[in-house]
Amino acid sequence: MAELDERSPLFAIAVAAELAGMHPQTLRQYDRLGLVSPTRTAGKSRRYSMRDVVQLREIARLSSEGVSLEGIARILQLEDQVSELSARVRELETALAEEVLNRPGRRVFAAGVEGEVISLKHGTRTQRRTELVVWRPGRDD
């Protein structure tokens, strides 16, 4: 059996309309405008996912706040883009972390006495300094 998730097309238009608190004709209109694009069955009837229903509710909320359908379309497009980019960033962060951890001969750096950057071989440590430096205000030593 196929695994169900938020994108699984489960609901006929009447059920999706009821879940979204809308008239089925409104869902058809939104489909024509490209605001929500449900999956189609072999017989061409619409099947809405839970994600589609959530999106329909968001459209209703934005519309009630006075946002035009063009504005809603743009907001939804930008939200989708943000989701895609966030997923890509997570993917790249994971790849980078794996690369850094698995790269042979990775470099280690430390700060020198004067604040300079010192490159160390993997597995070596810097020599610890134990002297104490005292600073007294007003002296130009």
Among all chains, which residue has been given the structure tokens 């694009």?
37
13-102 topology per CATH: Multidrug-efflux Transporter Regulator; Chain: A; Domain 2 (1.10.1660)
In our burial notation (b when 16+ CB lie closer than 10 A, e otherwise), range 68-91 reads eeeebbeebeeeeeeeeeeeeeee
Nearest in space to 16 (alpha carbons), one of 34, 2, 30: 30
The whole-model pTM stands at: 0.63
44: left (phi over 0), alpha (psi -120 to 50) or beta: left
Long-range contacts of 38-46 (CB under 8 A, 24+ apart): 38/9, 38/13, 39/9, 45/12, 45/13, 46/12, 46/13, 46/16
Q: Cα–Cα distance between 117 and 106 in angstroms, integer?
A: 16
Q: Cα–Cα distance between 56 and 34 in angstroms, integer?
A: 12
Q: Where are the domains of the chain?
A: 13-102
pLDDT tens for the chain, 141 residues long, are 668 888 899 999 999 999 999 999 999 999 999 999 999 999 999 999 999 999 999 999 999 999 999 999 999 999 999 999 999 999 999 998 888 777 766 667 777 777 788 777 766 777 777 777 777 787 665
